[in-house]
Chain A
Amino acid sequence: MRSKSEEMDDDDEEEEEDRSSRKRRRSDFIDDVAEEDEDEEEEEEEEEEEEAFGGAGRRRRAKRPSGSQFLDIEAEVDSDDDEEDDEAEDDFIVDNVADIPDEDDNRRMHRRPLLPREDEQEDVEALERRIQARYARSNHMEYDEETTEVEQQALLPSVRDPKLWMVKCAIGREREAAVCLMQKCIDRGPEMQIRSAVALDHLKNFIYIEADKEAHVREACKGLRNIYAQKITLVPIKEMTDVLSVESKAIDLSRDTWVRMKIGTYKGDLAKVVDVDNVRQRVTVKLIPRIDLQALANKLEGREVAKKKAFVPPPRFMNIDEARELHIRVERRRDPITGEYFENIGGMFFKDGFLYKTVSMKSISAQNIKPTFDELEKFRKPGENGDGDIASLSTLFANRKKGHFMKGDAVIVVKGDLKNLKGWVEKVEEENVHIRPEMKGLPKTLAVNERELCKYFEPGNHVKVVSGTQEGATGMVVKVDQHVLIILSDTTKEHIRVFADDVVESSEVTTGVTRIGDYELHDLVLLDNMSFGVIIRVETEAFQVLKGTPDRPEVDIVKLREIKSKIDKKISVQDRFNNTISSKDVVRILEGPCKGKQGPVEHIYRGILFIYDRHHLEHAGFICAKSQSCVVVGGSRTNGNRNGNSYSRFAGIATPPRFPQSPKRFSRGGPPNDSGGRHRGGRGHHDGLVGSTVKVRQGPYKGYRGRVVEIKGQLVRVELESQMKVVTVDRNFISDNVAISTPHRDASRYGMGSETPMHPSRTPLHPYMTPMRDIGTTPIHDGMRTPMRDRAWNPYAPMSPSRDNWEEGNPATWGASPQYQPGSPPSRTYEAPTPGSGWANTPGGSYSDAGTPRDSGSAYANAPSPYLPSTPGGQPMTPNSASYLPGTPGGQPMTPGTGGLDMMSPVIGGDTEGPWYMPDILVNYRRSGDDPIMGVIREVLPDGSCRIGLGSSGNGETVTAPSSEVEVIVPRKSDKIKIMGGALRGATGKLIGVDGTDGIVKVDDTLDVKILDLVILAKLAQP
């Protein structure tokens, strides 16, 4: 009698035949000897080119019998082999329990007797009978031959046994090499002293040779071109067994486990095991059929079907009626064993729309199967109740990690007598979990196999998902459906379906996934349309992005691919009072919808700040604001500037007596410390130096220039320009602001000359020194356009080139001494000249320090606080000022320090787009409250305001605007630009690239390529 599964088996085989039976079979041989006999059967039935590969396949395992006895599986096989093989073979098999015969000829003999049989063309019936008979017997054999562990142990190799050597051979020729050795053995006979040669399929490039001595191995390998005997490695005794043991995949396949198909049309499909035949290594699985009925009909009717494998039919339940409509013959048969009815269509068995298929165990994978909800859902077909689900959990459970259950977990028994018993985990041992049952009258604790347990949750529990796609999410259990929980996510207020196994009880509240691809929650990203924003929520496939629009919060849902890049720049901008804001500074919003909120700056981009306010409930706490509408909390000038007008500030300044020099001095003494103490608003003056270009003055790297990457106390890490490395240099050994190197030198020439004042330059104070010196010497010097600073405190006098003007000019602005105004003309003269010219030095490095607010802050720190707020660098007081003082109302305060203060170098100015406007550059003119209008600066007035021709070419109406209402348009790559600061001030060029905050500029006149801070570059208006 032929069982159902038998039949299925057969047609399965046929099916496989259709495909590449050859390939499959070969691999079978290799992997598992046990499978061999089956394959042999197939071969017999098919009567086809077995010689071609079968022979090779078998020969491969040339093994010394005794050594391989411990392999259980082989023993089993061997029994089959024995029966089938002729008596003749027995001679070769030294040991009764031996596995595959070890010599080549042995194999041949084995084969020989089969040939005539094949020729006889036995009828199928007889063949079938024979197969049946054999399998029946083999079953018995299996049990007979079971060995005990002790026996196995006794067989392990010892020092007295021959050793195993690993020899290198040509890749892909492992088997060939082994066969060659075998052939050599046959030819040479006893001359060859090796015992065996083994080629393992999973090991490329090596074969194992069993021999007593290395010399024997060498001898044997001599003359074989496939074997490279130069390197012969001894396999330690302990590892010898591993070499030859077959990883017995102790796949615990049992009914109702979920598996996945590994090959064929159903590759990757989920299947459920309905029957396991351990002996024959076959399983019957239940699948959702992927059958193209039309094609099937064609085939059955004998019409030729184009064998195109490209198309794999989608999984669909078999509809018998449909099949009948296509005139496909459907037989209804009863399985003789189980008594169930199956529909047989063209050799395939269907039941309830599922396909039942018997396949080799090797063609399924049972490890780590995690069926998704959809798949499970599909399997839960018509009429099937949830019961199947719980049972099928067994596979899911098999994949549990260690420590899945923890003490205190609520669990429920899902299998066995105690099914549905609830309890709490008391103790976990290896496999068993001790639970304290909920029900009374039961022992205190019960030991239950882990697999019979499932975590138990009740609606209302607050849980966290710890694995799976929803990992990290938290929520409250809304519904418990067997082992599936429906959770209401805390953050999204949406339902999530998860396996009970994947969650733990937790009171934590989180969002779940926080990252897709390279982008993470709270990253600042640049979007496709050049807009930008902060990721405020990560959804399954998209992000919610709070756009960088300050007026109103705008949230967009953005797909991963719509994101261009992450913006990870360290930029600093200026707040309303020209304090530098860098990320992490705490700012307060002064206007707009979020007025009054405050929090640390998370991101800065294009003058827009993204502020994180814990108390802001919308948009994940992020607020978007313009930098100009914020103020740094605790910023050095916030207090004084709070009122926002220059008067008050000056007033403040006027009071305290201030002696500028002193601060410098002090600071000079202990630069790092002092400055550190003085930072306001948490802005380290480190930041000031970090990123700036410095020159090493002393030590082994003397003369090198580089960029500061980090400051650690007294040490500075500098990335050298000329060498690809970062070196650590003492702070005192560097001088900064080499970016525009000339000034530097000049500066020293002026004042500092001898005492190498420069180097300390990076210490803010230092620059101050120069001025003092200068005071007497080079008045011009001070004259340099005090850049950005001025803007802050005196928007009207931004440009003031010479300090002389300044004094006059400023006072004028506040109405004090009009008579000075006339003085301004000189200033004009100054504006025009490019810095490089005559007094190029002025912009010199020394000044630069002063420019950055923080530096100034530190400089002043010693001075009475009121000062701080007021523009440090700003007040342009010139050294000479003494003479002017009388004239200038506010004058005195500034005078003294002035020398130091006024210097602000373009370099630093860099980050503050200071008032170095120049004619012909494109700007945005922004009258308070209005949208910015593009315009071209026609003329820069002495008081710093600009005459702007509106329109992109400047042809429109001409307006005069204070510099505070003017914003330079940042050039893009390949724009024509004009350089607003530095030695090249006034020069035009082309921006050929942007690197972070630096622009790579090709200067028109000299065709030199320069790297300049983007901030001193302005887009040139096209004539």
Chain B
Amino acid sequence: MFFHIVLERNMQLHPRHFGRNLRENLVSKLMKDVEGTCSGRHGFVVAITGIENIGKGLIRDGTGFVTFPVKYQCVVFRPFKGEILEAVVTMVNKMGFFAEAGPVQIFVSNHLIPDDMEFQSGDVPNYTTSDGSVKIQKDSEVRLKIIGTRVDATEIFCIGTIKDDFLGVINDPSAA
């Protein structure tokens, strides 16, 4: 799920960035530092949409660095248990398949794939229904439900299922 929230961060700025462009430098550094990161609490920071407030800088003894508390608005993406997502399959193996929804990697175990779909090894490993009408392979788009998340400091990993109503392949590249 996406959220638009306000976060705060203490930015350390090297003295060489001081000057007229200090603010720009600060913001660009913030973007560089923050966008694409992941925190367990908020999920992935997708984009910074604005700066709320830059506090007073504090000069660090000895280094000359200045610390600014920066409040910024950003869009974060955090997957939740039970959430339905659309994702792109990135890898298929006999244990299931991996899919990605933006920065989040989701694993769908073969136990969580409908029983009538079987793994077919070969050049393009895939899961296929017995009648061959539905096929999950790399680059397929699937709709899945997240049933578990594991949140590390730098990564969010989910397991999902497509063994439910209205879940499964939504766009098959091979059919197209």
Spell out A's residues near B (CB within 8 Å). 458-462, 476-479, 486, 488, 490, 493-495, 507, 509
Contacts and interface: CB of A to CB of B under 8 A. Distances in A.
Nearest to A459: B147
29 contacts: A458-B147, A459-B112, A459-B147, A459-B161, A460-B146, A460-B148, A460-B159, A462-B148, A462-B150, A476-B150, A477-B148, A478-B96, A478-B109, A479-B109, A479-B111, A479-B112, A486-B109, A486-B111, A488-B95, A488-B159, A490-B150, A490-B157, A493-B107, A494-B95, A495-B95, A495-B111, A507-B150, A509-B150, A509-B152
Interface of B: 81, 95-96, 107, 109, 111-112, 146-150, 152, 157, 159, 161
Contacts of A477: 148
Contacts of B146: 460
B109 A488 contact: yes
Pairs A-B, 8 closest by C-beta atoms: A460-B148, A460-B147, A479-B111, A478-B109, A476-B148, A459-B147, A476-B159, A478-B111
A470 to B, nearest CB: 16
Given A479-B112, A486-B111, A495-B95, A459 B148 contact: yes
Contacts of B109: 478-479, 486, 488, 495
Nearest to A486: B111
B160 to A, nearest CB: 9
A486 B107 CA distance: 14
Contacts of A493: 95, 107
B155 to A, nearest CB: 10
A479 B159 CA distance: 11
A490 B150 CA distance: 9
Contacts of A488: 95, 107, 109, 159
A116 B157 CA distance: 83
Contacts of A494: 95
Given A479-B112, A488-B95, 9 more contacts: A459-B161, A460-B148, A460-B149, A477-B148, A478-B111, A479-B109, A486-B109, A486-B111, A495-B111
Contacts of A462: 148, 150
B150 A478 contact: no
Nearest to B146: A460
A478 B159 contact: yes
Contacts of B81: 460
A479 B111 CA distance: 6
Nearest to B98: A493
Contacts of A461: 148
A88 to B, nearest CB: 73
A495 B81 CA distance: 20
Contacts of A479: 109, 111-112
Contacts of A476: 148, 150, 159
Most chain B CB atoms below 10 A, which of A458, A459, A486: A459
A458 B149 CA distance: 13
A367 B146 CA distance: 42
A478 B112 contact: yes
Nearest to B40: A507
Contacts of A458: 147
A479 B163 CA distance: 12
Contacts of B161: 459
B101 to A, nearest CB: 16
A715 B159 CA distance: 58
A458 B152 CA distance: 20
A477 B111 CA distance: 11
A459 B144 CA distance: 14
Most chain B CB atoms below 10 A, which of A460, A486, A507, A509: A460
Contacts of A507: 150
Most chain A CB atoms below 10 A, which of B81, B147, B161: B147
Contacts of B149: 460
Nearest to A474: B150
Contacts of A490: 150, 157
A476 B111 CA distance: 13
Contacts of B111: 478-479, 486, 495
Contacts of A460: 81, 146-149, 159
A458 B150 CA distance: 14
A495 B111 CA distance: 10
A461 B81 CA distance: 10
Nearest to A475: B150
A342 B161 CA distance: 45
Contacts of B152: 509
A279 B150 CA distance: 55
Contacts of B159: 459-460, 476, 478, 488
Nearest to B148: A460
Contacts of A486: 109, 111
A495 B96 CA distance: 10
A462 B109 CA distance: 15
A460 B146 CA distance: 8
Nearest to A462: B150
Nearest to A477: B148
Nearest to B91: A493
Nearest to B105: A493
B104 to A, nearest CB: 14
Nearest to A476: B148
B144 to A, nearest CB: 12
A537 B131 CA distance: 41
Nearest to B107: A488
A486 B111 CA distance: 9
A460 to B, nearest CB: 3
Nearest to B161: A459
Nearest to B160: A460
Contacts of B112: 459, 478-479
A507 B151 CA distance: 9
Contacts of B148: 459-462, 476-477
Nearest to A494: B95
Contacts of B150: 462, 476, 490, 507, 509
A488 B146 CA distance: 14
A841 B147 CA distance: 77
A978 B159 CA distance: 64
B152 to A, nearest CB: 7
Nearest to B93: A493
B34 to A, nearest CB: 17
B82 to A, nearest CB: 9
A477 B152 CA distance: 17
